[in-house]
Chains A and B, each alone.
Chain A
Amino acid sequence: MKLRPKTLLITGIIIGVLLLGIYTVVYGLVENGVAELEARNLKDLVHDAAWRVDDEGAHAYRALGDWASWDDTYNFMETRSEAYVESNLEDVSLAAAEIDIMGFYDAEGRTVLIKMVKGGDSPRRPIPKELASLKPDDALLAHGKAGGTIGFLLLGGRLTAVASRPILTSKGAGPMRGTIMMGRYITDEMIAMSSGTTSLNTSMWILDTPMPDDARSAAGELEASGNESVVKNFDDHVQAGYFFVHDIYGKPRAILRVKTLRNGHAEFVKGMQYMAIAFVIVAGLFEVLNFVLLDMFVLSRLRRLGEQTSEIGGGGNEKERVSVDKEADEISGLTSDINTMLSRLHSVRQELLRNQISYNRRLRDEVRQKTRLLAAVNARLRRMEKTKNQFLFNIGHELKSPLAVIEMNLATIMGGKATAKQVKESGRMINRNLLRLKQKIEEIIQLSRFEHGRQVQKDDLDFSELVREVAETYLDFASVKKAKLHVEGADRRRLVVGDRHLLQYALGNLFSNAVKYCDRRDIYVKVAQDGKNVVFSIANSGVGIKPENRHKLFDRFFKEDQNSPGTGVGLFITREIARSHSGNVWYEPGKPRGAVFYFSIPVAERRDMYGKK
Chain B
Amino acid sequence: MVKNDVSILVIDDEEDVRRSLVLLLETNGFSNVESADGAKEGIRKAASKAYDLIILDMIMPKVSGWGVLQEIAAKKIKTRVLVVSAVGLPEVVKTEIKSRYPSVGFIPKTDAAAGLIGKIKEAMAEPAGTIL
B86 to chain A, nearest CB (A): 4
Complex Cα–Cα for A481 and B16 (A): 11
B125 on the interface (CB 8 Å rule)? no
B24 on the interface (CB 8 Å rule)? yes
Within 8 A of A (CB), among B52-102: 59-64, 86-89
Complex Cα–Cα for A403 and B24 (A): 15
Within 8 A of B (CB), among A417-433: 417-418, 422, 425-426, 429, 432-433
A450 on the interface (CB 8 Å rule)? no
A401-B23 contact in complex given A432-B16, A563-B60, A564-B61, C-beta closer than 8 Å? no
A407 on the interface (CB 8 Å rule)? yes
Assess whether A397 is in contact with B86, with CB atoms less than 8 Å apart. Answer: yes
Assess whether B88 is in contact with A410, with CB atoms less than 8 Å apart. Answer: no
9-residue interface stretch from A148-156, A247-255, A387-395: A387-395
A5 on the interface (CB 8 Å rule)? no
Complex Cα–Cα for A546 and B24 (A): 38
Assess whether A565 is in contact with B26, with CB atoms less than 8 Å apart. Answer: no
A429 to chain B, nearest CB (A): 5
A-chain residues with CB within 8 Å of residue B29 when the two chains form the complex: 417
B13, B17, B27, B61 pick with most chain A CB within 10 angstroms: B27
Complex Cα–Cα for A411 and B112 (A): 9
A412 on the interface (CB 8 Å rule)? yes
A-chain residues with CB within 8 Å of residue B14 when the two chains form the complex: 401, 405, 565
A433 to chain B, nearest CB (A): 6
Complex Cα–Cα for A474 and B6 (A): 37
Assess whether A415 is in contact with B88, with CB atoms less than 8 Å apart. Answer: no
B-chain residues with CB within 8 Å of residue A481 when the two chains form the complex: 15
Interface string of B22-38 (1 = CB under 8 A from A): 01101111000000000
A397-B88 contact in complex given A404-B109, A561-B62, A565-B14, C-beta closer than 8 Å? yes
A565-B59 contact in complex given A415-B27, A417-B27, C-beta closer than 8 Å? yes
B-chain residues with CB within 8 Å of residue A392 when the two chains form the complex: 88
Assess whether A393 is in contact with B110, with CB atoms less than 8 Å apart. Answer: no
A408 on the interface (CB 8 Å rule)? yes
B119 on the interface (CB 8 Å rule)? no
Assess whether B89 is in contact with A408, with CB atoms less than 8 Å apart. Answer: no
B-chain residues with CB within 8 Å of residue A432 when the two chains form the complex: 16
Assess whether A422 is in contact with B87, with CB atoms less than 8 Å apart. Answer: no
Assess whether B26 is in contact with A422, with CB atoms less than 8 Å apart. Answer: yes
Assess whether B20 is in contact with A409, with CB atoms less than 8 Å apart. Answer: yes
Interface residues on chain A, number (Cβ under 8 Å): 33
CB within 8 A of B61: which of A393, A395, A433, A563? A563
Residue in B closest to A419 when the chains form the complex, CB atoms: B27
A344 on the interface (CB 8 Å rule)? no
Interface of chain A, helix or strand or loop or mixed?
helix
CB within 8 A of A429: which of B20, B60, B62, B63? B20
Complex Cα–Cα for A392 and B89 (A): 10
Assess whether B62 is in contact with A412, with CB atoms less than 8 Å apart. Answer: no
Assess whether B23 is in contact with A396, with CB atoms less than 8 Å apart. Answer: no
Complex Cα–Cα for A400 and B16 (A): 13
Assess whether B19 is in contact with A425, with CB atoms less than 8 Å apart. Answer: yes
A-chain residues with CB within 8 Å of residue B24 when the two chains form the complex: 408-409, 411-412, 415
Within 8 A of B (CB), among A473-524: 480-481
Assess whether A405 is in contact with B1, with CB atoms less than 8 Å apart. Answer: no
B85 to chain A, nearest CB (A): 8
Complex Cα–Cα for A124 and B21 (A): 197
B56 to chain A, nearest CB (A): 14
B124 on the interface (CB 8 Å rule)? no
B-chain residues with CB within 8 Å of residue A418 when the two chains form the complex: 23, 27
Complex Cα–Cα for A426 and B86 (A): 19
Residue in B closest to A565 when the chains form the complex, CB atoms: B59
B-chain residues with CB within 8 Å of residue A403 when the two chains form the complex: 86, 110
A563-B23 contact in complex given A400-B110, A407-B110, C-beta closer than 8 Å? no
Assess whether B27 is in contact with A401, with CB atoms less than 8 Å apart. Answer: no
Within 8 A of B (CB), among A164-210: none
B-chain residues with CB within 8 Å of residue A417 when the two chains form the complex: 1, 27-29
Interface string of A555-568 (1 = CB under 8 A from B): 00000010111000
Residue in B closest to A416 when the chains form the complex, CB atoms: B27
A-chain residues with CB within 8 Å of residue B13 when the two chains form the complex: 565
Assess whether B113 is in contact with A410, with CB atoms less than 8 Å apart. Answer: yes
A-chain residues with CB within 8 Å of residue B64 when the two chains form the complex: 563
Interface string of A248-286 (1 = CB under 8 A from B): 000000000000000000000000000000000000000
Complex Cα–Cα for A393 and B58 (A): 13
Assess whether B27 is in contact with A400, with CB atoms less than 8 Å apart. Answer: no
Complex Cα–Cα for A321 and B124 (A): 103
Assess whether B61 is in contact with A412, with CB atoms less than 8 Å apart. Answer: no
A-chain residues with CB within 8 Å of residue B28 when the two chains form the complex: 415, 417
A405-B17 contact in complex given A410-B113, A422-B27, A563-B62, C-beta closer than 8 Å? yes
A396, A411, A422, A425 pick with most chain B CB within 10 angstroms: A411
Assess whether A404 is in contact with B113, with CB atoms less than 8 Å apart. Answer: yes
Assess whether A397 is in contact with B87, with CB atoms less than 8 Å apart. Answer: yes
Interface string of B88-132 (1 = CB under 8 A from A): 110000000000000000001110111010000000000000000
Residue in A closest to B57 when the chains form the complex, CB atoms: A401
B-chain residues with CB within 8 Å of residue A564 when the two chains form the complex: 59-62
B71 to chain A, nearest CB (A): 15
19 A-B pairs within 8 Å (CB atoms) are namely A394-B88, A395-B88, A396-B88, A396-B89, A397-B88, A400-B109, A401-B109, A403-B110, A407-B113, A407-B114, A412-B23, A415-B24, A415-B27, A415-B28, A417-B28, A429-B19, A563-B59, A563-B61, A565-B14
Other contacts beyond A397-B59, A404-B113, A429-B16: 4, CB < 8 A = A417-B27, A425-B19, A432-B16, A563-B62
A interface list, Cβ under 8 A from B: 392-397, 400-405, 407-412, 415, 417-418, 422, 425-426, 429, 432-433, 480-481, 561, 563-565
Smallest CB-CB A-B distances: 8 pairs: A396-B88, A564-B61, A404-B109, A400-B86, A407-B113, A411-B113, A408-B20, A393-B88
